[in-house]
Structure 1
Amino acid sequence: MTNNSPRRAGWTAAIIPSSKRALMASVLALGVAGGMIGQSALVQSTPALAESAQTTMKPFSFADLAEKVSPAVVSISVKTEATPNVSFFQEFPDFPDGHPLERFFRRFGEERFGNRGDDQGKRWRHRRGRHPYAMAQGSGFLISSDGYIVTNNHVVDNAEEVTVTVQGGKTYTAKVIGTDKKTDLALVKIEDNGGFPFVSFADKDVRVGDWVMAVGNPFGLGGTVTSGIVSARGRDIGAGPYDDFLQIDAPINRGNSGGPTFDLDGNVVGVNTAIYSPSGGSIGIGFAIPASTAKEIVADLKDDGKVVRGWLGVHIQTVTDDIAESLSLDEPTGALVAEVQPNSPAEKAGLKTGDVVTAVDGEKIDNSKELARVVAAYQPDSTVKVEVLRGGKAQTIDVKLGRLNDRVASADRDSGNGDDTQSSSTSLEDLGIAVVPAAETGAADQGVVITDIDPESDAAARGLRVGDVILEVAGTAVESPRDVARAIDDVKGSGRKAALLRVQNGDTARFVAIPLSRG
């Protein structure tokens, strides 16, 4: 087929009207196997089309875009105090030990030298008679002519000295204006008021499938350009409470941290932050903080060096299919209030445990992460309209937000393990558990404590453990096994297929939906 293609292309071009030859030349050249061979046949049969064919065959190029934006991308070198056994790859601190993604998600851009944990490294530092230190490298980009630079927090974290290298090799001393660990963003300022080239954040969101170009300083090599597309949006990779990453397939590696990802108009659509990599090198899956998030954080940091967030004061969890079924919701959407913190804005406004938050100021809330991000974007003392479902009925509650400070933002609650409690108990076969009044065991002042559980039951699969205290079943407070059984019967009688339990372990309360498929 390949040998016949040039002849077929030449023969076809000879019989079509001359007014359509230029268009057909490009289509044939791209459509046949060995496109350049097809072009050659066309040029031989119709020499006058040579220049036109060459023009239409010219591939898309990022050269003009790279030339336009690269001068605003910088390399950042940071001197920090050394700590023992610092690895080239900093793992996300929020992953618990043994998490299946722990070894795959890694910070990149933190190449550290002079900080080896072995004896040779120690001697190297001792010979020079200097205080132990480490060097980190990353990327950044200028957002103003007077030298403000955006980068990642993990690039400049605990920095003692910061040096910025611009295109052409000139270096400047810089200082850290402010950092935000929760979003892994930082703002740095060159200590020189020269007229620097700069870039701007995009005003509109990119779509999945859009072309993007990443520029950075991988492996300390200086300005490097790679391209790809946005492969997904809204990724939650466990890096922090406000995860909302763009996933891109433009190759990025260690040293690209803090560098920009551009759209085809030369606007920054994301700040490169993480890669998915078993080995530490790029396998084509990278993550960038979206411009919409970065703009807000950077503006706060530029104002006073810190980020101020709104605080609602609730522990929340995402509404799963089981929870939606137990609450008779049409779809699993919204954020379920598992606990209202004492003296919080939520308590003062009248939010209650079991409420499902569906919107804030008209913005739809799909899950717990989204509620955390939306609330955090407001300034303290802002009054917002929180739409909730309570007992199946919609309500709107005005809440005056507080100040988050360093409080733990809302997040899904994991189940914990309680101590075994020995006591006589009543079996609840529908749930696969046995319980006794919590007051009898001293485990709690109210509710019933789980004393035994079928390891193959739905309750065990949903994370219930011996020692957990069940406070409510389907919104009804329970104090005895009989209360639990009665509440389960009520759920069955209503036609629901799952019972929603409010469970406490230690100081943490959460909701667990248990399917009623037994008995």
Structure 2
Amino acid sequence: MKLKPLKMTVAALAVAAAVGGAYSLGQNVPFGNANAATQPTAAVTAPAAAPINTPNGLPDMRSIVASNAPAVVNISVTGTRKTAANGPDLQQMDPNDPFFQFFRHFRGQIPESRQPVQGLGSGFIVTPDGTVLTNAHVVDGAEEVTVKLNDKREFKAKVLGLDKASDVAVLKLDAKNLPTVKIGTSLQTQVGEWVLAIGSPFGFESSASAGIVSAKSRNLPDGSYVPFIQTDVAVNPGNSGGPLFNMNGEVIGINSQIYSRSGGYQGLSFAIPIEVAMNVEKQIVAHGKVQRGKLGVSIQEVNQSLADTFGLAKPAGALVASVEKGGPAAKGGLEPGDVILGIDGKTIESSGELPAAVAIKQPGETAHLQVWRKGETRNIDVKVGSFGEEKVASSETPSADKGRLGVAVRPLTPEEQRQAEVKGGLLVEQASGAAGRAGIRPGDIIVAVNGQPIGDIDQLRGIIAKSGKKAAILIERGNSRIFVPVDLG
């Protein structure tokens, strides 16, 4: 699902998804729409303290809110967008509207104008001299950024830099002796821990909400390298860029996205780990830009079927689906079908942990990888390159059933081989039986089976005949390559 910015008025969300998706939490509304917001009450600054337990066993978070609310800010941005001067905004029209196609067809003949727009988000102060962290999507394209403190003071902010890959932006206020939050770590955070968010949902400033950590190292469909912290904390449009606190009153993440069918909170919230954000902040302040390492591979999660196919003791690590030609991984000797089990002595339990571990390395540094290949572990050193966004392939867990492969295929033409950048390969024209149940579909290109490149139909039949009950089929679909575990029965 793609990230979508949310538009909001007091009455209703102007954009709602018909199906579930991941949404950024900034809010953008045209000038003239009213935005209700509570009048903030100045918080009393108090030393950070762990919450006490109330008689019913729940934590009392009053001290956390009192200590940190003064350092949590409301961010408003202004900018413009192009619209047709004599026609409606197509972004606000129903595609099924009979006039939609008419206006789209004649859009080029209608003069364009620039309409003012306004956005709202949250942020938090990390240095007394005015360094503020927020989400990149909150301030992206902004012409003016205003930061409002809990005590009602307002400052014009300068955008020092933003990093779309991590969705982190760094702002600077011309001020001194500002209240700050305490930066913690998400590394020791455990699923089930209580966490608390402070922000400005729908413009209601200094709003606090609480919940628990639902999961860690979540990969989202936007392809980001960020290993998100999933929570059930109620966050909504306007919370974007606000802090997520642990029960020691320390920031462990930045609230960034929600997964929703309606565009509003439905129990799934995602935060950027604070380590990722502070690494971005450090580089932007020092160099004005962000550099991070990359391996040059497409990876996917190892499920039980793939673990069985590759002979792993348990589902763990990051499966290499493809290797970028001439990239760092290729030069280091990584191959499709390798399972990366560790990096620099750290175990990789989930594929989502690998991109973040590589990204914190500087281009030119060496990554020491522990790799599973053909039933044994080996060590491979890769000199990392400069980040250009790792692609994360994904496939749903296939259902297991009996049967042989069940595909009708044909060899690729020379032109198709050139476009797919493969030698050999077979185009799937029909898929049923075991292949169909596993998710293989017409249009997929079978590149390899059990690590062996496929050149012709007879070779495919021979490998499948010797595969036993399971086979790992490497397919190319669109711009991604993924391994599909097939239960042959």
- 1:231 matched to 2:205? The reply is no
- 1:79 matched to 2:78? The reply is yes
* 8 Å Cα contact 1:182/1:240 also seen in 2: no
- 1:472 matched to 2:448? The reply is yes
> Cα deviations across residues 134-165 of structure 1 (Å, max 9, x unaligned)?
11111111100100001111111111001111
Q: Alignment partner for residue 199 of structure 1, among 169, 173, 181?
A: 181
Instruction: Report the counterpart of residue 147 of structure 1 in structure 2.
Output: 130
Cα distance, 1:477–1:236 mapped onto 2, change above 3 Å = closer
Cα distance, 1:301–1:321 mapped onto 2, change above 3 Å = same
- 1:328 matched to 2:324? The reply is no
> Cα deviations across residues 55-80 of structure 1 (Å, max 9, x unaligned)?
97999643332221111111111011
Residue type of the alignment partner of 1:453: Q
Cα distance, 1:341–1:145 mapped onto 2, change above 3 Å = same
With 342-351 and 198-207 compared, the bigger mean Cα shift is at 198-207
Instruction: Report the counterpart of residue 462 of structure 2 in structure 1.
Output: 486
Q: Alignment partner for residue 435 of structure 1, among 409, 413, 428?
A: 409
| Whole-Å separation in 1 of the counterparts to 2:411 and 2:438 | 22
Instruction: Report the counterpart of residue 215 of structure 1 in structure 2.
Output: 198
Residue type of the alignment partner of 2:241: G
Rg: which structure is higher?
Answer: 1
Cα distance, 1:131–1:509 mapped onto 2, change above 3 Å = closer
**How many angstroms does 1:443 deviate by?**
5.3
| Whole-Å separation in 1 of the counterparts to 2:262 and 2:460 | 51
> Cα deviations across residues 34-57 of structure 1 (Å, max 9, x unaligned)?
xxxxxxxxxxxxxxxxxxxxx979
Instruction: Report the counterpart of residue 372 of structure 2 in structure 1.
Output: 389
| Whole-Å separation in 1 of the counterparts to 2:311 and 2:56 | 59
Structure 1 unmatched runs, 5+:
1-54, 89-117, 119-125, 416-428
* 8 Å Cα contact 2:226/2:276 also seen in 1: no
Instruction: Report the counterpart of residue 6 of structure 1 in structure 2.
Output: none
Instruction: Report the counterpart of residue 363 of structure 1 in structure 2.
Output: 346
SS of equivalent residue, structure 1 residue 326: helix
* 8 Å Cα contact 1:449/1:467 also seen in 2: no
TM-score (ref. length: structure 2): 0.74
Give the alignment of 1:74-223 within 5 angstroms: 74-84=73-83, 85=89, 132-190=115-173, 192-203=174-185, 205-223=188-206
- 1:69 matched to 2:55? The reply is no
Cα distance, 1:476–1:175 mapped onto 2, change above 3 Å = same
Instruction: Report the counterpart of residue 283 of structure 2 in structure 1.
Output: 300
| Whole-Å separation in 2 of the counterparts to 1:332 and 1:281 | 34
The structure whose RCO (Cα within 8 Å, separation 6+) is larger is 2
Cα distance, 1:468–1:171 mapped onto 2, change above 3 Å = closer
- 1:410 matched to 2:410? The reply is no
Q: Alignment partner for residue 426 of structure 2, among 431, 442, 449?
A: 449
Instruction: Report the counterpart of residue 471 of structure 2 in structure 1.
Output: 499
**How many angstroms does 1:385 deviate by?**
0.9
Residue type of the alignment partner of 1:228: G
Cα distance, 1:481–1:224 mapped onto 2, change above 3 Å = closer
> Cα deviations across residues 427-483 of structure 1 (Å, max 9, x unaligned)?
xx821123344469975774352464343x121233333454434332334433332
Residue type of the alignment partner of 1:307: V
- 1:460 matched to 2:459? The reply is no
| Whole-Å separation in 2 of the counterparts to 1:332 and 1:373 | 20
Give the alignment of 1:36-75 within 5 angstroms: 61-75=60-74
* 8 Å Cα contact 1:144/1:196 also seen in 2: yes
Residue type of the alignment partner of 1:339: S
Instruction: Report the counterpart of residue 399 of structure 2 in structure 1.
Output: none
TM-score (ref. length: structure 1): 0.70
* 8 Å Cα contact 1:340/1:353 also seen in 2: yes
| Whole-Å separation in 2 of the counterparts to 1:441 and 1:283 | 47
> Cα deviations across residues 334-386 of structure 1 (Å, max 9, x unaligned)?
22222221211111111122222111111112343222221112111111111
With 444-453 and 508-517 compared, the bigger mean Cα shift is at 444-453
With 232-241 and 359-368 compared, the bigger mean Cα shift is at 232-241
> Cα deviations across residues 207-228 of structure 1 (Å, max 9, x unaligned)?
2333332211222232222333
With 74-83 and 475-484 compared, the bigger mean Cα shift is at 475-484
Residue type of the alignment partner of 2:392: A
* 8 Å Cα contact 2:404/2:434 also seen in 1: no
Aligned residues: 403
Cα distance, 1:225–1:441 mapped onto 2, change above 3 Å = closer
| Whole-Å separation in 2 of the counterparts to 1:283 and 1:442 | 44
With 442-451 and 244-253 compared, the bigger mean Cα shift is at 442-451
SS of equivalent residue, structure 2 residue 352: helix
Residue type of the alignment partner of 2:405: L
Q: Alignment partner for residue 247 of structure 1, among 213, 225, 230?
A: 230
| Whole-Å separation in 2 of the counterparts to 1:479 and 1:83 | 51
Residue type of the alignment partner of 1:409: E
> Cα deviations across residues 375-400 of structure 1 (Å, max 9, x unaligned)?
11211111111111121121101111
| Whole-Å separation in 1 of the counterparts to 2:291 and 2:80 | 28
Name the % identity: 37
Give the alignment of 1:25-40 within 5 angstroms: none
Instruction: Report the counterpart of residue 335 of structure 2 in structure 1.
Output: 352
| Whole-Å separation in 2 of the counterparts to 1:215 and 1:321 | 39
| Whole-Å separation in 1 of the counterparts to 2:331 and 2:367 | 13
Residue type of the alignment partner of 2:404: D
| Whole-Å separation in 2 of the counterparts to 1:336 and 1:356 | 4
Instruction: Report the counterpart of residue 355 of structure 2 in structure 1.
Output: 372
* 8 Å Cα contact 1:369/1:410 also seen in 2: no
Root-mean-square deviation (CA), in Å?
A: 3.1
* 8 Å Cα contact 1:368/1:410 also seen in 2: no
Cα distance, 1:61–1:486 mapped onto 2, change above 3 Å = closer
* 8 Å Cα contact 2:218/2:352 also seen in 1: no
Residue type of the alignment partner of 1:472: A
**How many angstroms does 1:489 deviate by?**
2.8
* 8 Å Cα contact 2:425/2:448 also seen in 1: no
Instruction: Report the counterpart of residue 107 of structure 2 in structure 1.
Output: none
- 1:264 matched to 2:247? The reply is yes
Instruction: Report the counterpart of residue 8 of structure 2 in structure 1.
Output: none
- 1:514 matched to 2:486? The reply is yes
Instruction: Report the counterpart of residue 108 of structure 1 in structure 2.
Output: none
* 8 Å Cα contact 1:78/1:136 also seen in 2: yes
Residue type of the alignment partner of 2:206: G
Instruction: Report the counterpart of residue 291 of structure 1 in structure 2.
Output: 274
SS of equivalent residue, structure 2 residue 461: helix
| Whole-Å separation in 2 of the counterparts to 1:269 and 1:368 | 21
**How many angstroms does 1:178 deviate by?**
1.0
